[in-house]
Amino acid sequence: MTRRNFGATLAVLLSACFAGAAFAGTGQPTPWQMNMQTPVTEMAEFLGTLHNSVNIVIGLISAFVLLLLVIVVVRFNEKANPVPSKTTHHTGLEIAWTLIPALILVAIAIPSFRLLTMQIQLPKADITVKAVAHQWYWSYEYPEDQGGGFGFDSYMLPREDAEKANQPALLAVDNELVLPAGKTVVVQVVGGDVIHNFAIPSFGVRMDAVPGRLNQTWFKTDKEGIYYGQCSRLCGANHAYMPIAVRIVSAEKYAAWLTEAKKKFASNDAQPIALAANE
Residues found near Cu ion in the complex (CB under 5 A): 196, 231, 235
Cβ 191 to Cu ion shortest distance, Å: 8
Asked whether the beta carbons of 119 and 186 are under 8 A apart, the reply is: no
Our CB check for Cu ion shows the closer of 172 and 249 to be 172
Our CB check for Cu ion shows the closer of 49 and 215 to be 215
What is d(CA 135, CA 113) in angstroms, rounded to the nearest whole number?
A: 34
Asked whether the beta carbons of 170 and 238 are under 8 A apart, the reply is: no
Cβ 123 to Cu ion shortest distance, Å: 27
Our CB check for Cu ion shows the closer of 39 and 208 to be 208
Our CB check for Cu ion shows the closer of 130 and 196 to be 196
SS3 assignment, position 203: helix
3-state secondary structure 129-165: EEEEEECCEEEEEECHHHCCCEEEEECECCHHHHHHC
| C-beta atoms surrounding 172 within 10 Å | 22
Cβ 175 to Cu ion shortest distance, Å: 17
